[in-house]
Structure 1
C-alpha cells in the first residue's frame, strides 16, 4: 500500500495504467539507497572527494582532509539546518518586501488588512503604537527587514517570542543569532573545507541557525496575518472529491501566500469569464502549504499534500497547477506533459524546465493573475469531451486556529484569564499534555500512516493535538479535523474539554479533535501558545508537558524546525532516522546529552505505535516534574 488515502491509491493505479511515472516509481528505482548517505558520513564539500567514512572497523576512518565521522555528520546536519532557515527566511523576506511595496503604492493588490494584529505585534516589538497605521506598518517592516543582516545584539524577533529564562540560557551558550542571513552565511563558512572541525561547536552553531529559523518563521506568520488577515475558524472539505468536473479547477501549490492571495482575489472577479467558456465557475483547490494558507483564510478546500502532488493532473480535470516555491517536485513538468495540464511557475527563483513561466511581480500582480487564470480557462475548453477520473472521496474540515482564535475560544470559558481553562485541565489530568504534529510526508512510509497512528494513539490518551503543514493536511483528508472525530477517537478527558470549550464558544458541539494551526512557518503559532502557557505558570517551556512529533518528515526545513523545537526545550519525536547514525557522539548528543543543556531532545522511533508511546512517556515525565499526577501507557 502506497498511501492510507484511498483517493491517492486510486490515482496511483491510473498512473500505472497510463505508464506515467510518479514519486513511488522513482523511489523504487533508487533502491538500494546509499548506506553512507543514510548514515550521514559522506562529504562532498570539496573536489578532493566525495569522501565516505566507513562505519566498519576495516574502512577509512577519516576523509581526505582528515575530517572524521563526527565532523562530517555534524557539518552535514548544520548545513541542512542552514538551508531550511534560508527557505523560511526567504518566505518571510518576500512578505516584508511585499508589505513595504504596498505601503509605498508599488503593490496595489496588497496592504494592511488586520490593524489589530499590527498594533499588537508592534507593541510586542517595542514600537510606539500611537503612530498612524501606515507609519506603524512602515516601522514594523523596517524592523523586520533589519532582522536579516548583521546587527548589534540578538534579534528582537527571536528574543521577544521566547521566555526570559530561555533567552538567558541561550545567551549563556552564545547561540542567540544577531541576524538571519548573517547566521546562515556563517554556517556555510564554518562548514567549508578547513574551518570548524569540532562537532560540538558545529552543533551549537546549528542551534543558533535554528533560532534564526524560528525568528524567520515568526516574521512570515506575523506579516501574512497583517497583510491577509489573521485566520478564524472556517468549515470546508478536503481530498480529491472537492474537484468539480464542470468547473475550471486550479490548484495552488507551494508555500507563498503573496502569490495565492492575489489569485484568490482575481478568481472571484473572473467567475463570469469562466461561465462564458461553458464552465460552472472557478474552483480553486490547495496543495501543500499554499493550500494551508488559503484554507485558513478563505476556506478553499485542500486537495492533496506532499508526495501525492503529481496525482491531481491524472484526474483529467485539473486546468492549471500554479506553483510558487518549496516542496514543488520538478517531476510535475513531465506529468503535465502527459496529462495536458498547464504547469505554471510564478517566481523567477523557482522555474521548472517545461513549465509555463508567468512571473507574478508585486506591481502587476493582478494582471499576471488574470493571465494565469485565462490560461486555465483555455485549458478547460480543450478538455471538454475527454474522460475524467475524480475519486469521489472527501472529508469535512474545520480549520483556522490561529493563536488569536484559540485564545478567543478559551476566553468564552474564562474571559478574565483565557489560559486558565487549559492550565486547569492539564493540572487535573483531563488533558495529559499538548503535542504539535508537524512535518511532511515521506515516500519511505505509506502516506499518512504514521500521522494517523500517532494521532489516534495520543488522542485516546487525552493528549491535545495541534497540527501544521502536510501533517495537518493528512488529518484534513482523513476526517480528523472535525468535531465528529472527537466522539470517535478522543479519550474521555479530552472529549469533555473539547466539548465544553466548543459549546462555550457557540459552536454547538466540540472543537475539532485536532486543531489546524496552518502552514510550516505557522509552527510559530505553536511556539507562541507554549510560551504563553509557560509565562502564565512562571516556568520555562522545558518544564511543560508539551512535545512535538514529525512522523513522516523529509525536508531540510523540517530539520531546522525540529532543531528550534528542541532548543526551546521540547522533546521532538522523529518517525524516520535522520542521517546522523554514522557518528555515535552526534547521535548521543542529539538524543540525550542535549537534554541536560536545553531540556529538549530528539526521540527517534520509526514504529508509530512505539513513537506515540515514547512521546506520551515524555509528557508524563514533565507532569511528574511539575508535581502533577501521571499515567501509565
Structure 2
C-alpha cells in the first residue's frame, strides 16, 4: 500500500525551512525530501541488516526461506558483520578528524607552520599532565610537539592504552578489562574490525558486537576526545558567549560565506582572513556592506562555540541555505556534506569549494588547505566570494526574516568554572533533586522524521522534569531555534532546574560543541563519577540521538553505552534482522556494561523512558526519585 505524500508541514517544524522548501519547488530545485520520496519503499533486507555483499560468491539476502548465505553465514552473523563495519566507518571518521588536529599540533611543535599557534597554553599543560607527558623545562613549542607525538602513538598500538583512559573511573576500566574491550589503539581496533568481518574470520555475533564496542570506545576516549582537546589547545577553549541561529542570519547587503563540515582548521583561518585590512578595502570596492560568515552543521558548531559566529542551519537546512539565493560561497571540509549541494549551488550563483583532499566533490572547485598554506588559501577563498558577489541575482534572493538569539560556549572548563572550579555544587544540586539528572541530546537530522520535532519536544519534556540537557551537533540548531538556549528559557523548566539556571544565569539546555565534542560529555560524566567514587553507569544520566542517520552517530551511541550511559535512539540501526543482536542492544548490554539502547521515535514516550532510568539511578544512589 502506497504511503500518503507528506505535505510541507509534515517535513519540518520551522517556518524558515518551509519557506525555502516552497521556493525550491518554485525554482525547480530538488531537495533531500524529494530524493527520499524517490527512494521509497526501501529494501526490507537492507533495513534489517540482512544483505551481505562482502564477497563475490554473493551478494546474499538472508530470509526464513534462505537462512544462510553462500558462505554459511546466518542472520545473526550477517547483521553483526554489517554493524561492525558500520560503526568502524563512524569511528574512523571522527578519529581521522582528530588525526588532522594532531598533525596540526605536531606542525606547530616542529615549527613548520606560522599560520597556527597554541592559543590555550594552560590547557596544553593540563593535557600533557593527564596523558603522562613531562612538561617541566619545556617551552610551549616543545610541549606541543611532545603532546602531539604521544597522541600519535594512540592511533597505533605502541602504548598499552590510550592516553585519555586516565580519565576513566577505575571500576569502568576494570569492567572493560574483564570483558576484553579495553581500546588498544584507535586505528588498530578499527582495522581489526575490518579483518574480523572478512569472510572466514570472526563468525560469532556476540564476539563481533563486543569488539564493535571496543573500537567505538577508541573513538570516544581516543579519536574524538583528542579532536576536542587539541581543537581547544590550538583555537582556544570555548567560554560562554552570545550567538544567533536560523536562515535569518544571512544578509541581503553583505557577502555571505557558509562554512560547512566538521573541522575548525579551515573555518578558523577563514575568519582571520575576513578581518584582513586589505580584504575590507576590497569588500568596500565591491559595493557590499561587509562579509557575513555563517555556519552549517558541526563546522558551524565549532566557530559558534569559540567565536560566536551565527549558525544558518543544521543537516536538513544545508540545501535550503543555498536556495535563499544569497550565498556567494559555501566552503566545505568533510563529513555530512550532501553531494547534492554541488547541484543546488549550480542552480544559483553560489560557488561550492572543497578544501580537503579526502573529501572531493564531482563538479566542485577545489582549493587544497594544509598547515603550510592555510592563510594564503583563506585569503584566496574570501576573494572568490567578493568577486562572486557581483553575480548575485537579487530577484532570486529570498531570506527569511529574523534570527533567534542563543547562548553558547559551555566547555567543561566553562561549566566547572561557573560552579567555582569543582563539580561539587552540581553534585549537591543533584543530591538535593534540583537537578535530577542530565541528558546529552546529540546528533543529526533524518528526513524520515519531521525535522527537529523530536529534538525540541524531547528537550522540552526533559527540562520540565528537572533534567539538565547538554546538546551538540545538529541538535544545537534545533534547540537554539526553539529558544531553549537562553537563560530566559529556564521558565520552561521544573522548579528545581529553573532555580539552578537562574542562580547561574544559564539556560537549561547547554551547548557543549560539535559532534566530536560528545567527548566533553563523556569527560564530564567521568569527573562526576570520580568525585562520587562510583562508576559512570551509576550516575543519573542518559544520552539521546533522536534524529540520527550516520555511521558516526552509531559509533557515538555505542561508545556511550559501553561507557555506561543509557542511550535513546529515535530510529533503530539496521540490526533488526537478528534477534540475538537486537536483544543484546536493547537489554543484554545492560548486564555486560551497565547500560543499553532504547529505540523510540515518539519524544514523549522517550522522555518517560529516560525519566524512569534517571529515577532508578537516583534511588540506587540513595537520592530518592
Query: Into which bin does the TM-score normalised by the smaller protein fall?
Result: over 0.9
The answer (yes or no) to whether the contact 2:154–2:161 under 8 Å persists in 1 is no
Q: Deviation at 1:513?
A: 2.1
Q: Give CA deviations for 1:509-549 in whole Å, capped at 9, x if unaligned.
A: x3012000000000011111111110111000000001000
Alignment-derived partner of residue 240 in structure 1: 247
Answering whether residue 130 of structure 2 is matched by residue 90 of structure 1, we say no
- Residue in 2 that maps onto 1:288: 297
After TM superposition, give the deviation of residue 152 of structure 1 in Å.
Answer: 4.4
Secondary structure, counterpart of 1:241 in structure 2: helix
| Residue in structure 2 matched with residue 465 of structure 1 by the alignment | 469
Structure 2 Cα separation of the partners of residues 91 and 330 of structure 1: 19
User: Could you say which residue in structure 2 is the equivalent of 1:394?
Assistant: 403
Mark the CA change 1:385 to 1:598 in structure 2 (over 3 Å): closer, same or farther.
closer
How does the TM-score come out when normalised to structure 2?
Answer: 0.97
Tell me if 1:111 matches 2:114: no
Assess if the C-alpha contact under 8 Å between 2:529 and 2:536 holds in 1: yes
1:265 maps to 2:272: yes
The 3-state SS of whatever aligns with 1:627 is coil
Q: Distance in 1 between matches of 2:476 and 2:248?
A: 18
Is 1:183 the counterpart of 2:186? The answer is no
Q: State yes or no: 1:612 paired with 2:612.
A: no
What does residue range 524-543 of structure 1 map to in structure 2 within 5 Å? Answer: 524-543=519-538
Runs of 4+ in 1 over 4 A off after TM superposition: none
Which of the residues 429, 451, 455 maps onto 2:455?
451
Contact residue 485 and residue 513 of structure 1 kept, 8 A: yes
What residue in structure 2 maps to residue 505 of structure 1? none
Whether 1:494 and 2:497 are equivalent positions in the alignment is yes
CA deviation vs aligned residue, 1:124-153 (integer Å, no higher than 9, x gap): 112222222111111100001111112242
Distance 1:388 1:462 in 2: 43
- 1:544 matched residue in structure 2: 539
- The CA distance in 2 between the partners of 1:7 and 1:46, in whole Å, is 46
The CA deviation at 1:384 is 5.7
TM-score normalised by length of structure 1? 0.95
Query: Corresponding residue for 2:7?
Result: none
Q: Which residue does 2:258 correspond to in 1? A: 251
Cα distance in 1 for residues equivalent to 2:472 and 2:140: 31
State yes or no: 1:379 paired with 2:388. yes
The answer to whether the Cα contact below 8 Å between 1:272 and 1:281 also exists between their aligned partners in 2 is no
Give the corresponding residue for 1:586.
581
Structure 1 CA distance, aligned partners of 2:620 and 2:158? 38
Q: Among residues 191, 211, 219, which one is paired with 1:205 in the alignment?
A: 211
Q: Give me the whole-angstrom Cα distance separating, in 1, the residues matched to 2:12 and 2:423.
A: 38
Distance apart, 1:378 and its partner CA: 1.2
**Secondary structure of the corresponding residue to residue 83 of structure 2:** helix
Deviations 1:406-436 (A, max 9, x none): 001111xxx6xx3121111111111111000
Partner of 1:557: 552
What's the offset of the Cα at 1:168? 1.2
Tell me which residue corresponds to 1:624: 619
Query: 1:490, CA displacement in angstroms?
Result: 0.5
Provide the residue aligned with 2:284 in structure 1. 275
Q: Which runs of 5+ in 2 are unaligned?
A: 1-9
The SS at the match of 2:134 is: coil
Alpha-carbon displacement from aligned partner over 1:463-498 (angstroms, at most 9, x marks no partner)? 0110011111211222211112111x2111110111
The aligned residue for residue 427 of structure 1 is: 431
Deviation at 1:189, TM superposition (A): 0.5
Cα deviation for residue 156 of structure 1 reads 2.1
Name the structure 2 match of 1:353. 362
Identify the match of residue 224 of structure 2 among 212, 217, 221: 217
Q: How far 1:273 moved relative to its partner? A: 1.8
The CA RMSD measured in Å over matched residues stands at: 1.1
Aligned 8 A contact 1:5 1:478 in 2: no
| Contact kept? 2:349, 2:393, Cα under 8 Å | no
SS at match of 1:309: helix
Rounded to whole Å, the distance in 1 between the matches of 2:319 and 2:112 is 35
Distance 2:275 2:166 in 1: 38
Q: Work out the CA distance in 2 between the residues paired with 1:279 and 1:439.
A: 36
Quote the Cα distance in structure 2 between the aligned partners of 1:444 and 1:499. 37
Q: Does 2:572 match 1:577?
A: yes
**Distance in 2 between residues matched to 1:160 and 1:309, nearest whole Å:** 39
- Specify which of 382, 400, 414 is matched with residue 405 of structure 1: 414
Q: Number of aligned residue pairs: give it.
A: 612
CA contact (8 A) 1:466 1:516 kept: yes
Whether 1:196 aligns to 2:202 is yes
Q: Secondary structure at the match of 2:515?
A: coil
Match of 1:484 in 2: 488
Aligned residue for 1:318?
327
- SS in structure 1 of the partner of residue 390 of structure 2: helix
Structure 1 distance, partners of 2:619, 2:578, is 33
- Tell me the residue number matched to 1:60: 66
* Greater alpha carbon shift after TM alignment, 269-278 vs 400-409: 269-278
| Deviation at residue 627 of structure 1 after TM alignment | 1.3
Q: 2:140 aligns with which of 133, 148, 158?
A: 133
Task: Say if 1:309 and 1:385 are closer, same or farther in 2 by CA, change over 3 A.
Answer: closer
Q: Please, which runs of 5 or more residues in structure 1 have no aligned partner?
A: 503-509
Query: Equivalent residue of 2:154, what SS?
Result: coil
